[in-house]
Amino acid sequence: MKNQIFAILQRLGKSFMLPIAILPIAGLLLAIGTTFTNEAMVSSFHLESLLGHQTILNALFIIMKNVGGAIFANLPLIFAIGVALGMAKKEKGVAVLSAVIAFIVMHTTIHSMLVIDGQILNDNIIATHVVSGTITSVCGIYSLEMGVFGGIIVGLGVSYLHNRFYKMELPSTLSFFGGTRFVPIISTLVFLVVGIAMFYIWPVVQNGILSLGHLVADSGYFGTLLYGIIKRLLIPFGLHHIFYLPFWQTGLGGSMLVNGTMVYGGQNIFFAQLADPHIVHFSSEATRYFTGEFIFMIFGLPGAALAMYHCAKPENKKTVGGLLLSAALTSILTGITEPIEFSFLFVAPILFGVQVILAGSAYMIAHIFNIAVGLTFSGGFIDLLMFGILQGNSKTSWVLLIPIGIVYFFLYYISFKYFIMHYDLKTLGRSDEQPLKQNHIKPIFEENKEDQQYRLIVKGLGGRQNFNDLDCCVTRLRAHIIVPEKINESLLKQSGAAGVLLRGDSIQIIYGPHASVIKSKLEDYLERTTDDDFVDEISPVSIESVELKNIVDGEVVDISESCDNIFAQKMMGDGLMIKPQHGLICSPCDAVVSMIFPTKHAIGLRLNNGCEILLHFGVNTVSLNGEGFELLVKQDQTIGLGEPIWNADLHYIRDHALSENIMLVVTKLPNGLKLEKNYGIMSTQETILHITK
């Protein structure tokens, strides 16, 4: 259940990325246009002849300001489109069209209800008894102020209807309206009803959101600290977008009257103030949700990178230095921190705890010092230049970021170096293991360096048939996995990944800011290759017969009796199921340990005759997170027949998993070989499977 929820939240977070991706360009257009049409700025620098009224540049900057403002004004519709696009499984164009229609239908219905109720009078005049800011113009329709929540509701609803009905078959007389044509029809009808429901429901929700926003505001600096800590804690799971967006774009992030208009959401308030020439100083109550990011993204994390470099072994410093410098520059310029954070997240979680506390405190410090620098996407130097430096210190207090940032640089450096050295943490360049070499794949055609990377990704994901729903966010490649046990993290990291997060059947592979490019090129690569283009590089072997012995005392039955359909339907391959009488599990033959699943419940073996075997202990044991399993072997270890490989606590597994039965699956069977099975109650080392010609 948890994995299903995580998968849904992951897809939702991913769907936010398309509308969020437009914010930087919209923000830049608005910032540049506003800055260079500001009469005070133009006159102070005596640029009237160049930027004054009726000049070409003035006209250009006015257009830029209006275009940027229009994008922000229509974010609800943009989010409706983005969420529908991201959540739809197939025929995404139909989902997008249906979302636009549903959005218009919902708000038109709400408008009609407001007119009927007397809240909107003739000529769209809002009645005097209506609370200011609760009704606004949405794409030219006067409706309830729902912000991006309205767009998200439409996107989620339409994507659900789309995924359920896009293959809908109607009777022959109505067949023209079936399939994808039925989606906009059902969306229109459903969101007419939703519009009526929202007329009654949303004012209550709106009051709740505003009350919660006031609670956060009233919590003062502690609330800012808590917000920052939670946001950074969610980074590894890719769910931070879901958390921070309401604070940026809705009343949860506060409300403020700007230039006669009630504005909701921290980021919206900042950009409304940016366009208001009468603002003396931007509101730090609005920017408290993001200004602190400039402190740890431009200053703090580079200090952590320097600490990791100084702690690396001398022979590794050249390689590590290049990696950390690239990651630090990415953080400084763009505010994308995953390349640095994922370099230590999995190998030294304690450092991530340090990062969370320091980063959370940075949000609070910026709030305390009344620093109010806005951003479009993240706290890099580009946003600092546009929304801090160019806006002037009098409006933003951006200069204070420099001394505070220097303090945080040393805080990060000292903290990271202390923990790394004191606890001997295996950060970059400190591991005793040899670096992985990219020699596992043997191409059967000449390929360039990029193709080698994509080949590693496909192999690391378990093959072309083991993943679907390939997508990405800003820094992560995301996919749905058919058989999680086939994932090879080593290959994925060889392909350039900073980290791999596998939860149930959902995977996130962190590549940094190039993730979207990698995703697009990977799709091109998949289109021009086939399964036959992937050949394992193994030593030449003779196709010979081999006997597999029983791995534990117990009853041996066919794998089709498994309660897990993936195994029962032989999706991973044919094999046997053993009902163990005790927890000491031995190797069925001479082999090499080719894979150990992170949660210890599955082990892959590679035989000398080219066969590959998966030993999978229990059903739903991935949820145990390694509890109940003691591994007695290591990755790439050569093991002999009868050598102990697992010591498992059967009682614990029986109590906490769906089944303790062990699946022995032949996942790779070279041509010319077949399986002959033996069933019954057998002791360890009795022959249970012949792999023969």
**Residues classed as catalytic:** 473
Partners of 647 in the β-ladder: 584, 630
Strands (DSSP E) contained in 51-164 are: 135-138, 141-144
Strands (DSSP E) contained in 96-215 are: 135-138, 141-144
Is the Cβ–Cβ distance between 538 and 624 less than 8 Å? no
Is the Cβ–Cβ distance between 401 and 292 less than 8 Å? no
Partners of 648 in the β-ladder: 629
Sequence-separated contacts (24+) of 623-626 with Cβ below 8 Å: 623/2, 623/3, 623/656, 623/657, 624/599, 624/652, 624/653, 624/656, 624/657, 625/599, 626/598, 626/599, 626/600, 626/601
CA distances from 408 to 294, 302, 359, 517 (A): 11, 10, 9, 33
Q: Encoding tokens for residue 631?
A: 């591994």
The count of residues in the chain is 693
The sheet carrying 546-549 orders its strands as 546-549, 687-692, 674-677
Tell me the C-alpha distance between 509 and 493, whole Å: 9
Partners of 264 in the β-ladder: 255
Instruction: Write the DSSP symbol of residue 177.
Output: G
The H-assigned helical ranges of 423-488 are: 449-460
The gap from C-alpha 630 to its chain's centroid, in whole angstroms, comes to 31
What contacts 579, CB < 8 A, 6 or more positions away?
Answer: 554, 555, 556, 557, 660, 661
Torsional sign, CA 395, 70, 134, 377: negative
